[in-house]
Amino acid sequence: MEASPKKQRNIQLIVAVVTLILLASLIAGIAGYYMANQSSSNKASTNNNQLTQSNTSSNTSTQTDTSNSADNTSLSQIYQQVEPSVVVVQDSQPSTNLFNQQSYTQVQGSGFTYDLNGQYVIITNFHVVDSAVNVTVTFQDGNIYIANVLGSDAYSDLAVLSTDAPQNELVPLTITSSSDLLVGDQVIAIGSPYGLTGSMTTGIISALNRTITESTGNGYAISDIIQTSTAINPGNSGGPLLNSQGQVIGITTAIVDNSQGLGFAIPSDTILREIQDLAQNGSYNQHPYLGIGGADITYDIATQMKSSVTYGILIQTVTSGGPADKAGIKAGTTQAVIDGNTVYLGGDIIVGINGNRIRNSDDLSTYLEEFTHPDQTVNLTVIRNNQSITISVVLGTRPAPTNTGTSS
């Protein structure tokens, strides 16, 4: 029997509804599965990223802490090692007041202990003990002992002291050569700025082969100076300038007023060159001497002279009877005011010595101190009338200075 049309329609409707329900369930199941997996994946990814970031942060923090710890430990170790060797130097120096009456001024500086072939000495600056009486040295533990000046050199601002301190107080530092120093090297200064004993400051070498002129040198330049960014203040004078191994590479000597921390130090090579003579003979008399006064060539000076070179030293004065005078070096004779300074034009221009280029007075002074000695013959390259000539000069010994201004 064949079904009626109405029943057939009902059956088709039921089948369609069931089919739709099954299809909807299938789609919902697939969507749910996909969303669940995606959520799990995102969570896993997020957790992994957080773990990675955490590990990276932890590693970075560990490395930074280790680096800082290493640096701090290194500086701390240097300080602990060096502090017992650094002393406070105190004395009284004569001075004259407005009424020409003599009195004494208390002076304080720094110094350090050194073993000179079994003889323990204190090294400091000349200006710290210049004409001083009642010199004493104070050690880290506060003990004070009398000191005596064994020798000094105003031209290098160096002095060597002896002391009656017992052996256990004398902890010598190692002095190493300053010849290998480079601009940018880290340096450390320990001294007593403003009476604050045992103060440590750090910085870098900002320049080498400088020259400075101090009042105690009577106008003669101190050569081969180390320029440093290390904070140096009154009372630091005479204290050690150290490298990153705690070895002495210089002795702090001066600051420039209003310089924002610009300081200078005598290089250790100068100390090593002179200390034996200072301790045994009381002085050092091996400073070479040319007997000239000069001005560094500038572009304006070169232009005014119609010079063929824009570097070197224009000779201003020649000391009568001195080495340069005997060799025939000529000074300028035409006075001119250039850039606000009075100069004498027309003289020889020194541009070289023994084949080494001389750019300015710093170069010449440094070369003379480092590589020459009295009675040595040197060959100067000189520009005269825009012609290059070579003049041989037998160096003399620097006499007691009587003039002012920079000399060589």
175 found inside a domain: no
CATH number at residue 163: 2.40.10.10
Average pLDDT over residues 117-137: 93
Whether residue 376 sits in one domain with residue 292: yes
Report the domain count for the chain.
3
Is the pLDDT at 167 greater than 50? The verdict is yes
Output the pLDDT for position 262: 78
Position 44 confidence tier, pLDDT thresholds 50, 70, 90 = very low
Least confident of 16-20, 99-103, 291-295, 379-383: 16-20
256 found inside a domain: yes
Do 190 and 81 form a contact (C-beta atoms < 8 A)?
Answer: no
Output the pLDDT for position 50: 39
Q: What pTM does this model have? A: 0.74
Least confident of 130-139, 218-227, 379-388: 218-227
What the block records as the tokens of 281 is: 């003979």
111 found inside a domain: yes
Output the pLDDT for position 231: 78
Output the pLDDT for position 26: 52
Average pLDDT over residues 156-171: 94
Last residue of a domain, one of 116, 143, 169: 169
CATH number at residue 336: 2.30.42.10
Output the pLDDT for position 45: 43
Whether residue 341 sits in one domain with residue 251: no
Position 397 confidence tier, pLDDT thresholds 50, 70, 90 = very high
Position 261 confidence tier, pLDDT thresholds 50, 70, 90 = low
Is the pLDDT at 144 greater than 90? The verdict is yes
Position 20 confidence tier, pLDDT thresholds 50, 70, 90 = low
Whether residue 372 sits in one domain with residue 296: yes
257 found inside a domain: yes
Whether residue 250 sits in one domain with residue 214: yes
Average pLDDT over residues 56-70: 35
Whether residue 389 sits in one domain with residue 365: yes
Do 278 and 389 form a contact (C-beta atoms < 8 A)?
Answer: no
> By percentage, how much of the chain surpasses pLDDT 90?
59
- CA dist., res. 143 & res. 140, Å (int): 7
Position 163 confidence tier, pLDDT thresholds 50, 70, 90 = very high
Whether residue 388 sits in one domain with residue 316: yes
Last residue of a domain, one of 218, 247, 273: 273
- Among 153, 157, 224, 269, the one annotated catalytic: 157
> By percentage, how much of the chain surpasses pLDDT 70?
75
Output the pLDDT for position 250: 96
58 found inside a domain: no
> How far from 61 is each of 54, 72, 74, 200, 273, CA to CA, in Å?
10, 16, 20, 28, 48
Active site residue 127: yes
Last residue of a domain, one of 273, 305, 335: 273
Output the pLDDT for position 103: 73
Whether residue 250 sits in one domain with residue 324: no
Q: Collapsing DSSP states into helix, strand and coil, what is residue 305?
A: helix
Average pLDDT over residues 347-361: 96
| Residue 388 bridge partners (DSSP) | 383
Is the pLDDT at 56 greater than 70? The verdict is no
Whether residue 363 sits in one domain with residue 299: yes
Average pLDDT of the chain to the nearest whole number: 81
Domain hosting residue 342, numbered range:
288-397
Average pLDDT over residues 369-396: 96
Active site residue 237: yes
Other C-beta atoms closer than 10 Å to the C-beta of 273 total: 16
108-123 residue pLDDT tens: 899 999 999 999 999 9
Is the model more confident about 278 or about 50?
Answer: 278
Is the pLDDT at 59 greater than 80? The verdict is no
**Number of alpha helices (DSSP H) and beta strands (DSSP E) in the chain:** 6, 22
Whether residue 387 sits in one domain with residue 297: yes
- Among 91, 127, 192, 363, the one annotated catalytic: 127
DSSP string computed for 131-186: T-EEEEEE-TTS-EEEEEEEEEETTTTEEEEEE---GGG--PBPB--STT--TT-E
- CA dist., res. 144 & res. 268, Å (int): 27
46 found inside a domain: no
Active site residue 192: no
297-344 residue pLDDT tens: 999 999 999 998 999 999 999 999 999 999 999 999 999 999 889 999
Whether residue 227 sits in one domain with residue 328: no
Contacts of 43 by beta carbon, 8 Å cutoff, 6+ apart? none
Whether residue 232 sits in one domain with residue 301: no
Output the pLDDT for position 153: 93
- Among 237, 361, 365, 407, the one annotated catalytic: 237
Average pLDDT over residues 124-150: 92
Position 254 confidence tier, pLDDT thresholds 50, 70, 90 = confident
Position 260 confidence tier, pLDDT thresholds 50, 70, 90 = low
What the block records as the tokens of 344 is: 């004498």
278 found inside a domain: no
Q: Are strands 292-296 and 158-163 parallel, antiparallel or unpaired?
A: unpaired
Is the pLDDT at 151 greater than 80? The verdict is yes
227 found inside a domain: yes
Position 407 confidence tier, pLDDT thresholds 50, 70, 90 = very low
Whether residue 377 sits in one domain with residue 296: yes
